[in-house]
Structure 1
């Protein structure tokens, strides 16, 4: 199975209430996955770390990647609004701002792609097609 390692998140000020988010990571494929030309869905998200459950903040990438021999190093950089990263909103009491520190981390998930069939239905046409028509 493909493995993801060396995941590192960096967040830098980009001005105008935005941040430059950079996530680097390494994906390593098995020899059999490379030989088969296996395809994976690569889902990269930012999440807020909280005590009960972690919040999904934003999806940075959701696409396909094909296995190849060995490992590949990946880097994603996106400009993100600070309001998106503000996963623990600050408290304002009588004009006093009490800052709540935000804890953000990146998650990289690889899911083996499995082709599925699809079907769709048209609209319904109502008419008399028999002798009554």
Structure 2
């Protein structure tokens, strides 16, 4: 089974109410996955850490990756608006700003790709095609 390790998040100021997000991680594939040419859906997100449930903030990557021998190191760098990262909004009382710390973490998920079918339907055309329509 493919494994994800060494997940590391850094966030630095990028000016103009935005931050530069760096997320690095390592993916290791098994020998059998590499031999089979297995494909995985690689989903990388930022999440806000909260006591009851964690909030999805933004998807940084959602695509396919093919297994290869050994391990690969990956890194994503994106400029993200601070309004997206502000997962615990500050409180303002009578003009006083009480800052609430935002707790952000990155999540990397690998899901084995399984091909599925697809279907699409057209619009509906309404008419009388029988004797009443002639």
Structure 1 residue aligned with 2:14: 14
**Aligned-CA RMSD value:** 1.0
CA deviations on 1:84-104 (whole Å, 9 max, x unpaired) are 111111111111111111110
Give the drift of 1:124.
2.4
Where in structure 1 do 4 or more consecutive aligned residues deviate above 4 Å?
Answer: none
For structure 1, the residue ranges without an aligned partner over 5 or more in a row are none
CA distance in 2, matches of 1:79, 1:22: 9
TM-score, structure 2 length as denominator?
0.95
- Residue 103 of structure 2 corresponds to 103
1:109-120 map, 5 Å: 109-120=109-120
1:68-87 alignment, distance < 5 Å: 68-87=68-87
Task: Give the total of aligned pairs.
Answer: 133
Alpha-carbon distance in 2 for matches of 1:47, 1:126: 47
1:84 is paired with a residue whose SS is: helix
Matched, 1:41 2:41: yes
TM-score scaled by length of structure 1: 0.96
* Other structure's SS at 2:120 match: coil
CA–CA distance in 2 between the matches of 1:57 and 1:127? Answer: 47
Unaligned runs of 5+ in 2: none
The worse-fitting range, judged by mean Cα deviation, of 121-130 and 42-51 is 121-130
